[in-house]
A and B are shown apart, each in its own frame.
Chain A
Amino acid sequence: MYPLGGANMNNDAPAALKLTALSKHFGRPAVDGLDLTVQQGELYALLGPNGAGKTTTLRMVAGLLAPDAGSVEIFGIDLAANPAGAKQKIAYLPDEPMLYAKLKPTEYLEFVAGLWGIEAADAEPRARRLLDWLDLSRHAHELTEGFSRGMKQKLALAGALIHEPQLLILDEPLTGLDAAAARQVKDLLLEHVRGGGTVVLTTHILEVAERLAQRIGIIEHGRLIAQGTLDELRSQTDGGTLEDVFLQLTGQP
């Protein structure tokens, strides 16, 4: 099991993520006045049909898209006012890994550590540990272009973890992973939360959300239409599995 850093839970501590009236329009509203709070030490799953605004929301949280209106606060730091301070605490992992085909895993980690300004004394042992834990050490001398989809996703995860983020933002983290790799990633997320870290993820695999998430938010047309624990969501509908709940709430047959 990989030992992860992270903040300890504290009731007085600011929310890990607080979105207030967040909006983004691309001709039509993609995210429409979204209010969302995720507490420290929580694993929050954001679900929604295709085009609901999940990825746009996560990209705004990661500082890749500027919102048209509203604010993003990460551990009490306003992303617009202090982007460097806010970004220092988070890691963003999109469904398409942000890698360089012609770099080796070690070189990729060197680059990412350089971007986050990690000292060599901290970065090197972390990189070795991450590559060992993700079973990439024996491929450390190979170029990433020859990697399978799962290996690429694991390397991107290693890059996301090299600066020991307190908040992990993951967009469809299990896409294309085989059973073993998916298990590894799920274990990592649970371990991160147990260590006081926070995870916000989107997924289309509802069983993953059902088994991992402490709270689930359902978004449609850029608005949060329901959120709570699985039991709370069941009580708002006719019950059943998360799939039944999700389809009822989003009005799909």
Chain B
Amino acid sequence: MNARAGSALWLLKHEIRMFFFNAGFGAKNKVGRRGIGKGSAALWIAVFVTIHVLAFALLSKIGGAGAAPPHTLVMGLSGLFAAAFSLMMSSGLRASVDVLFERGDLDLLLSSPLSSRGIFSVRLAGIVVGIAGIYLFFLAPFANAGLVLGQYRFLGIYPVVIGAAAIAAALSMLLTLGLVRLLDVRRTRVVAQVVGALSGAMFFLLSQAYGNAAGSARQQVAHWFAPMLEPGAALGPDSVIWLPGHAVLGAPRPILALSMIALAIFILTVRSTHRFFVHGVQQAVSLVRVARAPAGGQGYWFGRSLAQVVVVKEWRLIARDPQLISQVLLQLLYIVPLGVLLLTKGGERLPGIGAALTFLCGSLTAALAWVIISAEDAPDLLRAAPCGMRTIRRAKLAAVAMPAPALMALPLLWILTRNPLAALTLCATVAGSVTTSALITMWCGRPAIRGEFKARGKGSFLSNALEMLNGFAWSGLAYLLLTASTARQQSTWLLPGAAGLTLIAGTIMLFGYLSRSRDD
């Protein structure tokens, strides 16, 4: 369908295309073309058809639609709705920061003859479509199968998903604008990223915490909630909190309520966004805040050695980039359940935890190596200097390798007090993982731009593949060696397995070394 140039539909198509480009679909391939290839399109269609078939089979088996759904089902679906909504908020925050402050095309659009309210409506609608699209891909087949089978209540999936996406997109945009007023664009980007990641990871962390909790703790939680779930209580069967569950199952009033809320918040958000930009609030909050001059004048610290100036420079650059720090540290978010496990069930699960810690240290180091080595801001300055690149590279490797052991010091000391052999083993595997990760990135990484940290996976396939394999090899080795050091009876396969993984890790290093760029 060809929309008239300059119409709302035409602009919406542009927005949706940009959302999918930004989400990584249709990323530029080697010959500089964009768009999904024929093979990928065929795969997506095949998956979509398969979900339809599965949905049809499942709904045929469930049968009649007349009976009222059990309340436990409504509760379960409401819980799933909440989980999906938190993920939608996560996507919405990322998309809001992108479309309002990063894409940089608002001045172009607002200077065109298009209506400014229309532009913001379409911009928000673009986010809604982008968010809802992925959920509808997996859930719409159930609605379609329901339609064929005469189970019309499943058609509620469409308004529920679109309504939830609209609420999530609108709340995300309002939250983004509020944060920009309070902080500034740069800090908002960091906060949106952290809030988005936390809301996305919240259910994983909660489920991990619940799954790992002792039986008595779970009973205590159930006991605490039981009175609230009684009929007439705050969370009883008639509570509005279960409305999403009823809406998912096709109840007309909850669907209508959800749709009205979505519409109202959508309109409110468009008006706020319009006011924010057109009345120049953006300019007022975008002014660069200049730091106050120190009282005694700016201090100088000349005379450091070359290695020292390189390490200090690298850590200054990282320490002053909260967005980069948050991106790197969010990778470690999933370490929290491991810490809980270590403290509660340290003895029995030490090999698994040690393997995970080894992997995480390697992955943290690889991320820092990308920042410090591949994403050097002024490579020409370093090459134009009369000092040896070898010294600079060594100093950079030192800066890369420092944080992981620092983060590991506390868990290692804790393990050392309980099982010194295991602590030494873990120390060795972490050191191996950290060193090899840094070297692989140095040898195989390609020059990059620091601001593109999130997209670094697309940069160098070889470097990423070797890093991943290397991480698995070292964490596997940690698992086997820690099992050997903690088990009462030795299995015959442990040492040959460890020898095999050592060989694999060595081969990966050799491959990385042989694939290094020529000037290394």
Contacts from A to B (Cβ < 8 Å): 62-64, 83-88, 92, 94, 98-104, 106-107, 110-121, 123-124, 127-128, 137-138, 140-143, 146, 159
Q: Inside 8 A of A99's CB, which chain B residues have their CB?
A: 377-378
**How long is the Cα–Cα vector from A102 to B378 in the complex, in angstroms?**
12
Task: Give Cα A137 to B302, complex, Å.
Answer: 17
> Which residues of B from 381 to 405 have beta carbons under 8 Å from A?
381-388
CB contact between B309 and one of A87, A101, A104, A114 (< 8 Å): that residue: A114
Determine, out of B237-245, B261-269, B291-299, B490-498, the stretch whose residues face the partner at the interface: B291-299
Contact present for B290 and A115 (CB under 8 Å): no
* Contact of B386 with A141 in the complex, beta carbons under 8 Å: no
A-contact 0/1 string along B300-323, CB 8 Å cutoff:
111111101110010011001100
* Contact for A140 among B298, B305, B321, CB less than 8 A: B298
Q: How far is the CB of B322 from chain A (nearest CB, A)?
A: 11
Q: A98-B378, A141-B291 are in contact. Are A111 and B386 (CB under 8 A)?
A: no
Task: Contact check, A114 vs B300: say whether CB atoms are below 8 A apart.
Answer: no
Instruction: Report the Cα distance A141→B383, complex, angstroms.
Output: 27
A102-B320, A114-B305, A116-B387 known, 20 other contacts, Cβ within 8 Å: A62-B384, A63-B384, A84-B387, A85-B386, A87-B386, A88-B386, A92-B384, A100-B378, A101-B377, A102-B321, A106-B298, A107-B313, A107-B316, A114-B306, A120-B302, A123-B303, A127-B300, A140-B293, A141-B293, A146-B290
Quick check: is B380 within 8 A (CB to CB) of the other chain?
yes
User: Are A87 and B291 also in contact (CB < 8 A) when A102-B316, A114-B304 are?
Assistant: no
A100 and B377 contact, CB distance less than 8 A:
yes
In the docked arrangement, what's the CA distance between A119 and B176, Å? 49
B410 within 8 A of A: no
How big is chain B's contact interface, by range?
20 to 34
Contact indicator B302/A102 (Cβ below 8 Å): no
Contact with A along B367-387 (1 / 0, CB 8 A): 000000000011011111111
Cβ contacts under 8 Å, B294 to chain A: 141
A114 to B299, CA, bound (A): 16
Assess whether A110 is in contact with B301, with CB atoms less than 8 Å apart: yes
Chain A neighbourhood of B310, CB < 8 A: 114
The reply to whether A117 and B293 contact each other, CB–CB distance below 8 Å, is no
Task: Give the dominant DSSP class at B's interface.
Answer: loop
Q: In the complex, are the beta carbons of B291 and A64 less than 8 A apart?
A: no
A141→B302 CA distance, assembly (Å) = 16
Look across to chain A and name the residue whose beta carbon is closest to the beta carbon of B294.
A141
Closest to B288 in A: A146
Given contacts A98-B378, A117-B386, contact A103 B309 (CB under 8 A): no
Inter-chain contact B383/A106, CB cutoff 8 Å: no
A-B contact pairs, 17 of them (CB 8 A): A63-B383, A87-B384, A92-B384, A94-B380, A100-B313, A101-B377, A102-B316, A104-B298, A106-B298, A107-B313, A114-B305, A115-B306, A118-B302, A120-B302, A123-B303, A140-B298, A143-B291
Determine whether the beta carbon of B317 is less than 8 Å from that of A100.
yes
B387 touches A138 (CB 8 A): no
Q: A111: which B residues are within 8 A, CB to CB?
A: 309, 313
User: Residues of B contacting A114 with CB < 8 Å?
Assistant: 302, 304-306, 308-310
CB distance from B190 to the nearest CB of A (A): 14
Q: How far is the CB of B382 from chain A (nearest CB, A)?
A: 7
A178 to B46, CA, bound (A): 60
Bound-complex Cα distance A140 to B77 (A): 58
Contacts of B301 in A (CB 8 A): 110
A64 to B382, CA, bound (A): 9
Q: Give the distance in Å from the alpha carbon of A141 to the alpha carbon of B380 in the complex.
A: 25
- Chain B nearest CB from A90 CB (Å) reads 8
Chain B neighbourhood of A62, CB < 8 A:
380, 384
Contacting pair B300 A110 (CB below 8 A): yes
- Give Cα distance in the complex from A138 to B387, angstroms: 31
Contacts known (A107-B316, A143-B320); A115 close to B298, Cβ less than 8 A: no
Are A64 and B380 touching (Cβ within 8 A)?
A: yes
CB pair B309–A141 under 8 Å, yes or no, is no
Query: 5 closest pairs, A vs B, by CB?
Result: A120-B303, A114-B309, A115-B385, A120-B302, A87-B386
Report A-chain residues with C-beta under 8 Å of the C-beta of B303. Answer: 119-121, 123
Least CB distance, B384 to chain A, in whole angstroms: 5
Q: How far is the CA of A101 from the CA of B323 in the complex (A)?
A: 14
Residues of B within 8 A of A98 (CB): 378, 380-381, 384
Query: In the complex, what's the smallest C-beta–C-beta distance from B244 to chain A, in angstroms?
Result: 44
Min CB gap B314→A, angstroms: 10
Of chain A, the residue at the smallest CB distance from B387 is A115
- In whole Å, how far is B85's beta carbon from the nearest beta carbon of chain A? 37
Nearest Cβ distance between residue A72 and chain B, in whole angstroms?
Answer: 13
CB distance from B269 to the nearest CB of A (A): 31
The answer on a CB contact under 8 Å between B320 and A115 is no
Counting chain A CB atoms within 10 Å of each CB, which of B290, B292, B305, B381 scores highest?
A: B381
Question: In whole angstroms, what is the CA distance A71 to B386 when docked?
Answer: 18
What are the residues of chain B within 8 A of A113 when measuring CB–CB? 302
Chain B residue contacts of A110, Cβ below 8 A = 300-302, 304, 309
- CB of A64 within 8 A of CB of B316, answer no
A151 to B388, CA, bound (A): 30
Report B-chain residues with C-beta under 8 Å of the C-beta of A85. Answer: 386
Q: What's the nearest-Cβ distance from chain B to residue A54, in Å?
A: 16
- Which of chain A's residues have a CB closer than 8 A to the CB of B384? 62-64, 87, 92, 98
A103 touches B317 (CB 8 A): yes
Known contacts A99-B378, A114-B309, A120-B303, A141 near B298 by CB under 8 Å = yes
Q: Is the CB of A124 within 8 A of B377?
A: no
Partner of A103, one of B290, B308, B313: B313
| Max chain A Cβ within 10 angstroms of own Cβ: one of B293, B302, B305, B310 | B302
Instruction: Check if B320 sits within 8 Å of A84, measured CB to CB.
Output: no
Q: How far is the CA of A94 from the CA of B379 in the complex (A)?
A: 12
Q: Is the pair B388, A84 in contact by a Cβ cutoff of 8 Å?
A: yes
With A87-B385, A114-B308 given, is the CB distance from A124 to B302 under 8 Å?
yes
CB distance from B343 to the nearest CB of A (A): 37
B392 to chain A: closest residue by CB: A115
Residues 319 to 356 of chain B near chain A (Cβ within 8 Å): 320-321
Which residues from A are CB-within-8-Å of B386?
83-88, 115-117
A239 to chain B, nearest CB (A): 39
Roughly how many angstroms separate A64 CA and B383 CA in the complex, as a whole number? 6
Within 8 Å by CB of A127, from B302, B305, B306, B378, lies B302
Could you tell me the distance between the alpha carbons of A177 and B290 in the complex, rounded to whole angstroms? 22
